[in-house]
Structure 1
């Protein structure tokens, strides 16, 4: 084992690249000082708008796509927000990708669950963008998460995913799933040592396949509840791991992936503070790509429409927080301060009047009215307000434009592959 060789190999990965959407307006710059937010991904269950917990199905999956498409703080779909289990596994990747490429124009994801699924997903992404093979290889357009089978192992489907995706210059997000005390040492430092070793191995392999192929250093180190063995998220340990992971990614000069996650079973205070704590660790760690940014619940066991809206508002707040402070002469307001003078107020001052409609972040979910100004409708909590907003957004959804010829080519590709049986399964 030659550590210098590993670092020299990883150094070929770009520090920044463009992830292309179906339309140029959806292109995302990954790396540097840029932050991209992805929706929740891969949940097996979801909670619908009536509060009923359901096994993932295509109807729910499609509505998550619609909701995420309409929420501006959801930049990309890095996986199925909820798994459409009612689609047989042999053809699920085909129908799910068709939905994603027609219900939204944001970039999508390929699950590395076998060579043919990768090839199908890559070709559908190319068709949806309406470009030839050469242009597609020049322009990364789709992502795939590669998880190490911690400890210290990559299985065949994951390695096959790297081979197929990196060979076509598409984006690989290497993410060891190192839970301290379970799949990694119980000490946080030990778990991070293992995370780093697994991440570097995966990153190096992407560059062995193709020098310069885009890849990200992902961290998903957290701890488990040692009383039950259940994963814990949004913990102090998770936030610390996010900070260290970001420093390591910058050391190796590659973009950094983290997550905004929670172990809470409902949209309650726990869901709020755990998500904020996880997101704070990710952002302060310098994450360039925040997975599960909107809608993640129950340690990933379900996705929620209400939670997606609450999280989207939180992501907007983070974006506003990251905007540099305006220190222009007008913003410094020296003349306004002098004009109002001692013991005055600024409500009616011209400087306030010129700015009051746009100066502050306007929350989507928060209700800032005090006791006396609540309406006769009662005192709805954040989840109730988010539910109302989600219903409104879905009612107002409009599908993005797509060329009829591209839609037809996508449909023909799916129908042909379905008629061929999709991919082999053992059931």
Structure 2
């Protein structure tokens, strides 16, 4: 971003004009008991079914190094078919070295991510090949939009982490664009991010660039992790070579991994929720075991991405009742193994509309009630993950902030009980002018960004904009308010030098 734009942003941020209302930066905790859809007996039945899958059906692992590692640990391995069978004793032993909680520390320690326990974190959407806004329409992902979406993630405090490539910058060479996106993540934000683990090189580049930004060596980063990745299982029961190599590299360098099966009921898993959960659980446990064999104690999360398909067309569906139930039940399974839990609120809507909102909110409730620790794709997901939407990002931020306020415990003390105020206001009176109200009116309730509470006539006079149209104005305003976080010029130069060196080593490939 140009220096004049940075100055303009800083000037706006420091002006007297009221900024977009948003919640302050804080660690979000879920103080309520997790919802339990499944009984303890049902959880154990799913566990036993998962053990049966691992012991009798096996998992395909398309990676020679991983096969050798598992065989050395005592797993049964067929190298010709690249199939591995794990016995329950090996699984139980590996789980002993996992961590129930851990932290990711980016270059700004105030943005530290806490994973596990009752902490909940929300991330930007990751991976779409397309981008959309209401003014410019749907278009291929590109670096300009990538950077603007990352700026929005930095601006909104409720987005705690950047996802992996919020939109793919397809005009850049496919084999080196990850370096440019890492650079944008590290310079336009000071938050942690999810890096690409498609193979060893992309994973190691992300780890190394984060280490540079923090002034640490790779060895120091091993003991103080800062980044994570999602290892997507090719369900049913397959880990491809690149994903397996990325998983092992992340574990080797002590960085976080969320092993996440992609189990769409009726397509990549059984049509029944219990069967899908058993498969998901077996696949997740397999990847978790592999992280611990590479590096005992490596930070790892239980990942879940179980939803269903439209049985009429085969198209993926998200934000369904089945998806919400899977989000809750998967949290029970994660707690069964004492692991941090990654989940997702998704939508299949092609627009930032009512469908996109109610499907996302349905899945978001499942994520929160299931005590998700990392709510991935939480802001900007549209079209089943094929598009990153500016308007949807704003609507999602609003929903996330609503959820954050819902998670604030109710206080009950003398001031909150307000008996003095109740005694002063006569029967049939009102509390508008009561000192108790005047002392608290500015902060008593959540102040929304998107909601409009004008009466119909006033709303119409102001332009009659619906929520999606108001979201357009808000993302444009947020980009104006954005302030780029400071970075030591020497660190920036070191990052640029690393990128240049690695691009030379990689070579140029057509976009």
- Fold match (TM-score > 0.5): yes
Cα contact 2:198–2:242 (8 A) shared by 1: yes
Residue 234 (structure 1) aligns with: 319
The reply on whether 1:258 has 2:343 as its aligned counterpart is: yes
CA shift for structure 1 position 128: 1.3
CA shift for structure 1 position 421: 2.8
Residue 196 (structure 1) aligns with: 281
- 2: CA distance between counterparts of 1:394 and 1:175? 33
Cα contact 2:309–2:317 (8 A) shared by 1: yes
- 1: CA distance between counterparts of 2:96 and 2:330? 17
Question: Which structure 2 residue ranges, 5 or more long, are not aligned?
Answer: 1-85
- 2: CA distance between counterparts of 1:347 and 1:20? 45
Residues matched between the structures, number: 426
CA shift for structure 1 position 49: 5.0
Cα contact 2:173–2:510 (8 A) shared by 1: no
Which aligned pairs between 1:399-410 and structure 2 lie closer than 5 A?
A: 399-410=484-495
- 1: CA distance between counterparts of 2:98 and 2:398? 33
Residue 472 (structure 2) aligns with: 387
Aligned partner (choices 163, 171, 192) of residue 86 of structure 1: 171
The reply on whether 1:157 has 2:242 as its aligned counterpart is: yes
Residue 107 (structure 1) aligns with: 192
- 1: CA distance between counterparts of 2:180 and 2:448? 36
Q: After superposition, what is the alpha-carbon deviation per residue over 1:97-151, rounded to whole angstroms, capped at 9, x for unaligned?
A: 1111111111112211111111211111111111223321111101110011100
Which aligned pairs between 1:4-403 and structure 2 lie closer than 5 A?
A: 4-48=89-133, 50-374=135-459, 376-403=461-488
- 1: CA distance between counterparts of 2:493 and 2:342? 35
Cα contact 2:106–2:210 (8 A) shared by 1: no
TM score, norm. by length of structure 2: 0.82
Cα contact 1:11–1:253 (8 A) shared by 2: no
Q: Which has the larger radius of gyration?
A: 2
Residue 503 (structure 2) aligns with: 418
SS for the counterpart of 2:400 is helix
- 2: CA distance between counterparts of 1:421 and 1:293? 33
Cα contact 1:7–1:252 (8 A) shared by 2: no
- 2: CA distance between counterparts of 1:54 and 1:48? 9
- 2: CA distance between counterparts of 1:49 and 1:63? 15
Cα contact 2:143–2:169 (8 A) shared by 1: yes
Q: After superposition, what is the alpha-carbon deviation per residue over 1:87-106, rounded to whole angstroms, capped at 9, x for unaligned?
A: 11111111111111111111
Question: Which structure 1 residue ranges, 5 or more long, are not aligned?
Answer: none
Cα contact 2:153–2:159 (8 A) shared by 1: yes
Cα contact 1:296–1:303 (8 A) shared by 2: yes
- Cα root mean square deviation, aligned: 1.4
Q: After superposition, what is the alpha-carbon deviation per residue over 1:291-318, rounded to whole angstroms, capped at 9, x for unaligned?
A: 0000000000101011101101110110
Distance 1:349 1:154, change over 3 A: same
- 2: CA distance between counterparts of 1:324 and 1:315? 16
Q: After superposition, what is the alpha-carbon deviation per residue over 1:188-247, rounded to whole angstroms, capped at 9, x for unaligned?
A: 111111000001111111111111111110110000011111100000000010111000
Cα contact 2:125–2:379 (8 A) shared by 1: yes
CA shift for structure 1 position 34: 0.2
CA shift for structure 1 position 80: 1.0
Cα contact 2:218–2:253 (8 A) shared by 1: no
TM score, norm. by length of structure 1: 0.97
